[in-house]
């Protein structure tokens, strides 16, 4: 009886905060790629990286929305981040960035507000640049 009451109040809290609609989207490290490379989520959703042996995930400075929280996971550990700020987030795997292990997360609908900042960043070159071109194609395919 006690448990039931707690569960109902937890559900009420989730409904009030809107968290009942939040999802967790998985990104898997596979060899030296993040799969999928580009993911689209809603504000408040969680991205979870799995299969992270010998990998990490690190947001790239200047390539996340203004005011958003940067992240850096521990090597070889699964990791989750909940993203509230709309826009695009570019991240890398530290040991494998030169092999193209770079990913992008788009939070929200439409053209990401910080896409111009991402493109004009001095980091937009090499394998990171390649990931941003892939992001561009994914945005076009979505009609964003
Ligand atoms: Cu890696």
CA angle 53, 84, 10 (to 5 degrees): 90
Ligand 1 centroid–CA 79 distance in Å is 13
pLDDT of residue 103: 98
Ligand 1 centroid–CA 30 distance in Å is 8
Q: Do 37 and 96 contact (CB within 8 A), yes or no?
A: no
Ligand 1 centroid–CA 98 distance in Å is 10
Ligand 1 centroid–CA 141 distance in Å is 27
pLDDT of residue 21: 80
Mean pLDDT per 10-residue run, the chain (144 residues)?
Answer: 54 55 95 97 97 98 96 98 97 97 97 97 96 97 94
Burial of 25 (0-12, 13-18, 19+ CB in 10 A): middle
pLDDT of residue 53: 97
Ordered by where they begin, the domains of the chain are 22-142 (2.60.40.420)
pLDDT of residue 13: 55
Q: CA 46, CA 22: separation in Å to the nearest integer?
A: 8
Ligand 1 centroid–CA 102 distance in Å is 9
Ligand 1 centroid–CA 101 distance in Å is 6
Q: Any idea how long the chain is?
A: 144
Ligand 1 centroid–CA 95 distance in Å is 6
């Amino acid at each position: 009886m006690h448990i039931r009451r707690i569960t109902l109040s937890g559900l009420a809290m989730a409904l009030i905060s809107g968290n009942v609609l939040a999802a967790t989207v998985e990104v898997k490290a596979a060899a030296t790629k993040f799969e999928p490379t580009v993911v689209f989520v809603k504000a408040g959703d969680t991205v979870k990286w799995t299969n992270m042996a010998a990998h990490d995930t690190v947001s790239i400075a200047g390539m996340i929305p203004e005011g958003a929280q940067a992240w850096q996971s521990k090597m070889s550990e699964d990791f989750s981040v909940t993203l509230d700020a709309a826009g695009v987030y570019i991240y890398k795997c530290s040991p494998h960035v030169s092999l193209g292990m770079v990913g992008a997360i788009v939070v929200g609908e439409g053209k990401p507000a910080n896409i111009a900042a991402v493109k004009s960043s001095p980091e937009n070159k090499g394998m990171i640049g390649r990931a941003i071109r892939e992001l561009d194609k994914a945005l076009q395919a979505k009609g964003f």
